């Protein structure tokens, strides 16, 4: 009798468990290829580098729970890995959060992309090289050693997104430790923090948007002479979809705050283009970083120009082949490099060093 009751209880519980898990989804992509990268005109590390590289491969576990009354709980764990060498870049290193969504909008707590990915090109979305993205110039000041908003995700984020309002979307975010650390004694007024605002509107073929970023680093009030104490940036962008061709324009102005040696500010702009060509998609971007201003005075030869061209050829709805070519020409006092150098195992360029990269790869989404 007891065994019969136990069997009945298990039989009743199994459908409930299956039903509870139907709102959990696993998705992601594998993206890798072979790249030949050439450094030239530098003081050191000139030459060719051929290797398999990662294109930000990931697997994502996400889900929702209906709480009733239009309110839902949401979560996502975005895990990054490298199929080229079997390495794990970071468990939950991508956009990872838990939150609530409803008629009021959405609140998420976790690690999230903030600011840097607003208005960039489409190289990262296709089988073309992750490293060919114009973020290599738009998200840095003077060199790849000075990223704005980490040129990636920020940690310890509380973010609010607006509810659906026609073509309007956007939100605001705050973090008490965007770099991952939450140091500082109780009541420490010298503790850093970051906040961000973004807003975009889409209507017909038009999309326009903007974003603002402000961060103060830990210890900013008592920084040693010459220390970088924070950063501020704003960006405006727009696209017009002609049907076969989508044409965009992005302008970014970013500044690094220094204690005594003068703030470093630079403007940068980019023209990203996507076009349907044959069965696939052509991706193009021309980007230019202007000379920095240090303490309000122009510092000559600190700019750079970037040209990137790629083609994504679909083999199915989920699998495509990609080829891309990217060139970065640095002025004599600039050292910008391709985006996400770590995924390509590349050294940081030296001042005045130029980069050329040719890539062939494959992307499979699941």
Burial environment of residue 12 by CB neighbours within 10 A (0 to 12, 13 to 18, 19 or more): exposed
Other C-beta atoms lying within 10 Å of the C-beta of residue 141? 25
Domains and CATH numbers, the chain: 32-182+191-365 (2.40.160.10)
Quick one: how far is CA 128 from the chain centroid? Answer: 16
From residue 341, give the alpha-carbon distance in Å to each of 56, 121, 144, 243, 337. Answer: 11, 17, 9, 34, 7
CB 148 within 8 A of CB 253: no
CB 220 within 8 A of CB 237: no
For residue range 166-189, list pLDDT tens digits in order: 999 999 999 998 987 765 566 666
Write out the chain's pLDDT in tens, 366 residues: 444 444 444 344 444 444 444 599 999 999 999 999 999 999 988 999 999 999 999 999 999 999 999 999 999 999 999 998 887 667 899 999 999 999 999 999 999 999 999 999 999 999 999 999 999 999 999 999 999 999 999 999 999 999 999 999 999 999 998 987 765 566 666 788 999 999 999 999 999 999 999 999 887 777 766 788 899 999 999 999 999 999 999 999 999 998 777 899 999 999 999 999 999 999 999 999 999 999 989 999 999 999 999 999 999 999 999 999 999 999 999 999 999 998 888 999 999 999 999 999 999 999
For residue range 115-159, list pLDDT tens digits in order: 999 999 999 999 999 999 999 999 999 999 999 999 999 999 999
**43 three-state secondary structure:** coil
Residue found under tokens 């998609």: 281
User: What does pTM read for this prediction?
Assistant: 0.89
Q: Give which of 111, 135, 113 is closest to 123, Cα–Cα.
A: 135
For residue range 30-56, list pLDDT tens digits in order: 999 999 999 999 998 899 999 999 999
Give the whole-angstrom CA distance, residue 333 versus residue 230.
Answer: 22
């Amino acid at each position: 009798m007891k065994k019969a009751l136990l069997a009945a209880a298990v039989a009743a519980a199994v459908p409930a468990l299956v039903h509870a898990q139907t709102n959990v989804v696993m998705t992601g992509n594998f993206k890798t290829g072979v790249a030949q990268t050439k450094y030239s005109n530098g003081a050191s590390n000139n030459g060719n580098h051929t290797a398999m590289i990662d294109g930000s491969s990931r697997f994502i576990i996400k889900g929702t729970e209906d709480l009733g009354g239009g309110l839902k709980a949401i979560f996502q764990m975005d895990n990054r890995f490298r199929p080229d060498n079997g390495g794990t870049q970071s468990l939950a290193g991508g956009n990872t959060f838990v939150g609530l969504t409803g008629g009021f909008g959405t609140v998420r707590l976790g690690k999230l992309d903030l600011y840097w990915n607003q208005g960039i090109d489409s190289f990262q979305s296709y089988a073309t090289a992750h490293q060919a993205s114009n973020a290599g110039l738009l998200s840095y000041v003077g060199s790849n050693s000075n990223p704005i908003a980490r040129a990636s995700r920020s940690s310890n984020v509380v973010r609010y997104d607006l509810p659906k309002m026609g073509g309007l979307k956007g939100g605001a975010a705050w973090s008490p430790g965007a770099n991952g650390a939450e140091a500082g004694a109780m009541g420490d007024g010298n503790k850093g923090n970051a906040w961000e605002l973004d807003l975009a509107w889409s209507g017909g073929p038009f999309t326009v948007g903007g974003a603002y970023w402000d961060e103060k680093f830990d210890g900013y009030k008592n920084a040693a002479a010459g220390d970088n104490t924070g950063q501020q940036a704003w960006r405006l962008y727009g696209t017009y979809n002609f049907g076969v061709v989508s044409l965009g324009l992005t302008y970014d102005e970013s500044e690094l705050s220094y204690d005594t040696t003068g703030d470093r500010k630079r403007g940068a702009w980019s023209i990203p283009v996507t076009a349907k060509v044959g069965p696939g998609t052509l991706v193009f971007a021309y980007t230019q970083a202007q000379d920095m201003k240090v303490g309000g005075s122009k510092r000559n030869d600190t700019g750079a120009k970037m040209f990137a061209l790629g083609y994504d050829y679909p083999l199915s709805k989920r699998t495509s082949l990609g080829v891309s070519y990217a060139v970065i020409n640095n002025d004599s006092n600039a050292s910008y490099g391709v985006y996400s150098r770590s995924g390509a195992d590349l050294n940081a360029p030296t001042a005045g060093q130029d980069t050329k990269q040719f890539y062939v790869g494959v992307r499979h989404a699941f």
